Every structure is written in C-alpha cells, then in structure tokens.
Amino acid sequence: MSAALNALGQGPHASKLPQRGGLGLKPEHFQAIAESAADVGFFEVHAENYMGAGGPPHRWLTRLRADYPLSVHGVGLSIGGSRPLDPAHLRRLRDVIARYQPQAFSEHLAWSTHESGFFNDLLPLPYNNDTLRLVCAHIDEVQTALGRRMLLENPSGYLGFAASTWSETGFLGEIVKRTGCGLLLDINNVHVSATNLDFDARAYLAQFPMHAVGEIHLAGHSIEADEQGYPLLIDTHDRPVIEEVWRLYAEVVETHGPFPTLIERDADIPAFEVLLAEAQQAEAIMSAARLEAGGSVHATMG
C-alpha cells in the first residue's frame, strides 16, 4: 500500500459511510426524496451516470449530496481487463469523485473490455497469479489517480475456471494485502454464486476477509434453469431481496457487527417507499445485532 494512501488517514475498512441502510439513487425518486426529507443512511450512484458536464442529474445530486452521505459505484473501469485502463474514463471518474467527495468509491472484480470493444456486462476472471498481478496493478493505478482507497466487489458467478489456483476469498484477501484496498461484500452475489457453482454460502462467508469490508450490497435476482434443468440464478437487481439473503445478512451482522448496507435495485423500479422499507429492514437487523452485542457485554460484566 502506498505512502500516499496511508497519509489519507482512512480507517482499514476504506469507507466513511454510516452503518445504516442506504439506497441506490434513481431519477424517478428525486422529487419524493427532496419533498419528504427521507430518513436514509446514504445514497449510492453509478459513476458513469454522472460523467457528463452538467444537466438535471448533476443538479439533483448536488442538492441531495448536501444532506446525505454518498457512495459512488463504478461499472466501467474493467479492473480485470487484459488491456490498460482507459485513461479518459479514469479522468472522468476522478472528476466525479472530486466534484462530490463521496464517503466511499467501489468497483467490481470483473472485466468488460477487449481490444477496442466494451461489453455492457461484468465478466468473470480466473483466479491465478497472472490475474492477481494484473488486478493489483490496476487497483494501484486507480487508487493513485483518485488519491483514496477503493472497495472491490465480489462477483456473481456462473461458471468456474479450470485455470484458477486460488479460492475467491483467498484471491480477494491477497488483493487487499497487496494493494490496501477495501472490499464490498455483495451477499446476493454470494448466494447466486453458491447456487450456480454448488458451494456452501456460509462456508464462503466464514472465509471472507471481513476486516476489509467497507460496505455490503443486498439485491434480488431472477431464477432460471440451465440445460440440465438445474436452477440458474441471474443477478438482475429487479426484485426484492429474498429471505435466504436476508438470513445470510443477519448472520454476518450478528457475527461481525453492522456495516453500511445498500439495497440495490436497477430494473423494474418500485415506488420509493418500497425500497425505503427494505433499507429499514436492514437497519432493524443491525439494531437487533447491536442490542444483542450490548446484552452480551452486560451479561459478561455482571
């Protein structure tokens, strides 16, 4: 980890977001949020939606940023891509970060570029030493350009690589060790991957580098079937969080304490109050964990 990042004095979780429930900021909700002064812990935006010079999105975000903490989530850096990072995209990202000074910035452990093409998808990587060196070099470049730590999100999995020599949790832990970045734990992605790739989600979470987690994502997914008729989950962000993902989240919070927790919804957007209720459900789980932890301390002292 560079001396420049150490000098920032940020905590090990690389996030200053409140330990509350947050929501993705959607244009159709701007008016409702402004008029109701909604009690939301933070909002998250996709960086690429704010890379233009001006217009209504910037006016609304500037207004809301004055009242709410902000997380910026990138989808276009292609951290795992084999070619160099796009310097123009990185400059635009730096401008967004400088303009809004978010409490956290995150990106995905994935790739989306090849030669001169850009794919509108987050594609998987083999977990081996060559990929590790490439991803770490790109993270170092991003963190140096932005002057801050970033969070790296675990992917949703649909296939495994014979070329992988690391487990996903081990790979993420080594990235943290080498670059000093933080992690974004997407619990829906864990459930999706565990179902598709046939592993134990709880065993995965037990091995996850929780000390580096600065934010949690919760989302919904669609259920399809593969060619053999087995369930195939797709990380679509178009429906409510399911009960199993809530259970996994509650277990993480009970074990490790509260985290800033975002409800992701990117399609089939419901009324603002519907999403707010999910954020409040996350806050209720965190409050229960705080009470239980407080009771345990009291019992021990007594």
Q: Is the pLDDT of residue 150 over 90?
A: yes
Q: What is the CATH number of the domain that holds 165?
A: 3.20.20.150
Q: Is the C-alpha dihedral spanning 246, 169, 123, 163 positive or negative?
A: negative
> What pLDDT is recorded for position 112?
66
Q: Is the pLDDT of residue 249 over 80?
A: yes
Average pLDDT over residues 263-283: 97
Average pLDDT over all residues of the chain: 89
> What pLDDT is recorded for position 1?
47
Please, which pLDDT band fits residue 3 given cuts at 50, 70 and 90?
very low
> What pLDDT is recorded for position 299?
46
> What pLDDT is recorded for position 133?
97
Average pLDDT over residues 102-119: 73
8 Å CB contact between 19 and 253: no
Q: Is the pLDDT of residue 9 over 90?
A: no
8 Å CB contact between 208 and 144: no
Average pLDDT over residues 14-36: 92
Average pLDDT over residues 24-37: 91
Q: What is the C-alpha to C-alpha distance for residues 282 and 145, in angstroms, rounded to an integer? A: 33
8 Å CB contact between 78 and 53: no
φ/ψ (deg, to 5) at 142: -65, -50
Q: Tell me which DSSP letter residue 165 carries.
A: -
Query: pLDDT > 90: what percent of the chain?
Result: 74
What domain range is 250 assigned to? 3-301
* Phi-psi map region of 14: left, alpha, beta (phi>0 left; psi -120 to 50 alpha): left
> What pLDDT is recorded for position 296?
57
> What pLDDT is recorded for position 239?
96
8 Å CB contact between 219 and 244: no
Average pLDDT over residues 152-162: 87
Domain count, the chain: 1
Neighbours of 272 (CB within 10 A): 19
Query: What does 239-287 look like in DSSP terms, one character per residue?
Result: SPPPHHHHHHHHHHHHHH----EEE---SS---HHHHHHHHHHHHHHHH
Average pLDDT over residues 65-84: 93
Q: Is the pLDDT of residue 243 over 70?
A: yes
Please, which pLDDT band fits residue 33 given cuts at 50, 70 and 90?
very high
Please, which pLDDT band fits residue 35 given cuts at 50, 70 and 90?
confident
Which of 233 and 6 is assigned the larger pLDDT?
233
